[in-house]
């Protein structure tokens, strides 16, 4: 903390400051410089329902958890949990509901609603 900032805090707490026989009020002390913050909203992400999900390359040391469409019939629990709106409990329900042949099969899983179906449709296959 800079010395003049501390003086400012003390002056505010005391109401005034006595310096060399003169009483200085808070209005006479220099105000500390505070940074300003500017917030800019990001544009909303427009998901294209027909677009293919991103495919990530596999290297010698890195294997992506998911890449492209996730096969609901063969995906591990961890891969299913990497999908949006799918947590550990939902992943277990999806695994228990195998095999899947269509979106209607996924719709039968308890807890998968219209919003989840809409989100998962471009990301999964069977």
Structural domains present in the chain: 1-31 (no CATH), 70-125 (1.10.150.320)
H-run or E-run covering 19: strand 17-19
Residue 95 confidence (pLDDT): 95
Residue 4 confidence (pLDDT): 63
Burial class of residue 82 in the structure, from the number of CB atoms within 10 Å of its CB (0-12 exposed, 13-18 middle, 19+ buried): middle
DSSP 78: H
Residue 109 confidence (pLDDT): 93
Residue numbers of the chain with a pLDDT score lower than 70: 1-5, 7-8, 10-31, 45-51
Burial class of residue 67 in the structure, from the number of CB atoms within 10 Å of its CB (0-12 exposed, 13-18 middle, 19+ buried): middle
Q: Is the pTM of this model over 0.75?
A: no
Residue 24 confidence (pLDDT): 56
Residue 8 confidence (pLDDT): 63
């Amino acid at each position: 903390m800079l010395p003049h900032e501390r003086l400012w805090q003390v002056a505010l707490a005391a109401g005034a400051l006595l310096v060399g026989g003169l009483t200085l009020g808070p209005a006479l002390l220099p105000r500390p410089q505070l940074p300003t913050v500017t917030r800019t909203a990001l544009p909303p992400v427009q998901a294209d329902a027909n677009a293919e999900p991103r495919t990530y390359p596999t290297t010698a040391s890195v294997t992506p958890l998911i890449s492209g469409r996730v096969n609901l019939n063969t995906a591990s629990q961890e891969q299913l949990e990497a999908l949006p709106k799918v947590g550990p409990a939902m992943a277990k329900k999806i695994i228990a509901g195998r095999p899947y042949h269509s979106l209607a099969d996924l719709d039968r899983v308890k807890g998968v609603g219209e919003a989840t179906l809409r989100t998962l449709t471009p990301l999964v296959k069977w």
